[in-house]
Amino acid sequence: MKSNIINLNQINMKSIVKVSTIAMTMLVGMVQAKTTAIINATVYTVASQGILEQATVIFDQDKISQVYANDNIPENLNVDETIDAKGRILTPGFIGTMNSLGLVEVSAVSRTKDGGDDKADITFDASLAFNPKSTLVAYARKGGITSNIVAPHGGDKLFAGQTFAVDLSGGFASITEKQNAVLVYLGSESKGSRARRLQELDNKFADVQKALTKKQNSKEKEDKEKKEPKRADKVIHELLAGEKPLLAYADRATDLLALLALKKKYGIDLILVGASDAVLVANEIAAANVVVILSSIDNLPSSFDSINASLTHMARLQAAGVKIILAPKGESHNVNQLRFDAGVAVANGLAKTDAIAALTANIADVFKLNSGRIAVGKNADLVLWSADPFELSTKVDDMWINGEKVSTRSRQDALRERYTTSSDMPRAYTK
């Protein structure tokens, strides 16, 4: 008991010190805005400036304030901190998508899982359960990932809920956008027919659209007496108005075409996810201006819906004019592998700049994030790499989220250090 009391006292002491440090930092911050310049960088802007050699990027607090090409750098930068990249590559922070980051700690431990619920419907907002302190978040940063679109997996209903956007700072204010896209899972069924869900989706849009039109045509007096639309219907309204994307998981070409037809019929902002057969209907997808979120490594015919799976899909879709986003299927714990998956796509024909866009700007465009590019006014989510970001031998040297430098240290490092440090005492004393 006694030792417990001492420990508590120590904790209290520590917290007090921490609080005062934070207070001081805030004070300093108020006195002078902090500006940082990264000089001599090879900058992948993923924006109109393309790739800049020996460039300088300045960020002021949380936003990028200047991007100078090497022939355009002023003599006096007038910044608080200067980092010499020595030619190393600077990219926008990579963005994970379609995973359960922060909604799962251990997949087989149900009480650490918050991504699904039998009763989840189109209104399901899993962001309420997001845990920025999950050990997966720090580990994800090792892959240069600065933000993420978290996707719940819903329950028994047609819609699986809605995605949300987070930064990977690990702070309690990590959620940047709630309920920013609606999820639906389509395709082969172990019980019943794939047709039913497609039909239900079509009917849902038709019914809500009809009710909406009716309401708009009704007289003002009656309108006042009318009830507010149901929460679920409001979300359908947002989809019909194109205010929010519909993320539809499907693989077989017939399902993809059926979804394209729904887009045409109702004007929804459709995003295809998975889409193993996308190459078969690449021209139709490109013509409909539909973005495809897919994996670069799922090349086996894991089902009859993915007979045409191949390592060259990303390159072929890009060549057909389809905007692509790279997301490994269902991966949360090892989402930091994104960059290696991008490397595999490049090894199989995708241009390196297109692969970087598939991890940054393309995602920002779909989910309306103010990141994913190195351009004035964008969030200072930046990664300075030791070399080519996709190479196995490369690591993150420095990274910033909203202009704050963040660590890539994770629980894994603490474990490694414990077991590689020699000691006369049991390992438990090495902390």
The residues of the shown chain that bind another protein, judged by CB under 8 A, are: 104-109, 135-136, 297-304, 306-307, 332-334, 337, 340, 343-344, 346-347, 390-395, 412-413, 415-416, 419-420, 427
For another protein, the closer of residues 70 and 135 by Cβ is 135
- Smallest separation, CB 87 to another protein (Å): 20
Q: Considering the complex, what minimum distance in angstroms separates the CB of residue 108 from another protein?
A: 4
- Find the shortest distance in angstroms from Cβ 142 to another protein: 8
Using the minimum distance from each CB to another protein, give the nearer residue, 346 or 359.
346
- Shortest Å distance, C-beta 314 to another protein: 14
Closer residue to another protein, CB minimum distance, 283 or 303:
303
Least spacing, CB of residue 89 vs another protein, in Å: 15
In whole angstroms, how close is the CB of 191 to another protein at the nearest point?
12
Which amino acid makes up residue 21? Answer: T
Least distance CB 99 / another protein (angstroms): 12
Closest CB to another protein among 148 and 179? 148
Q: Which is nearer to another protein, 56 or 91 (CB)?
A: 91
3-state secondary structure labels for all residues of the chain: CHHHHHHHHHHHHHHHHHHHHHHHHHHHHHHCCCEEEEEEEEEECCCCCCEEEEEEEEEECCEEEEEECHHHCCCCCCCCEEEECCCCEEEECEEEEEECECCECCCCCHHHECCECCCCCCCCEHHHHCCCCCHHHHHHHCCCEEEEEECCCECCCCEEEEEEEEECCCCCCCEEEEEEEEEEECCCCCCCCHHHHHHHHHHHHHHHHHHHHHHHHCCHHHHHHCCCCCHHHHHHHHHHCCCCEEEEEECCHHHHHHHHHHHHHHCCEEEEEECCCHHHHHHHHHHCCCEEEECCCCCCCCCCCCCCCCCCHHHHHHHCCCCEEECCCCCCCCHHHHHHHHHHHHHCCCCHHHHHHCCCHHHHHHHCCCCCCCCCCCECCEEEECCCCCCCCCCEEEEEECCEEECCCCHHHHHHHHHHCCCCCCHHHCC
Nearer residue to another protein within complex by CB, 21 or 107? 107
Residue nearer to another protein on the CB measure, 39 or 346: 346
Minimum Å gap between C-beta 322 and another protein is 21
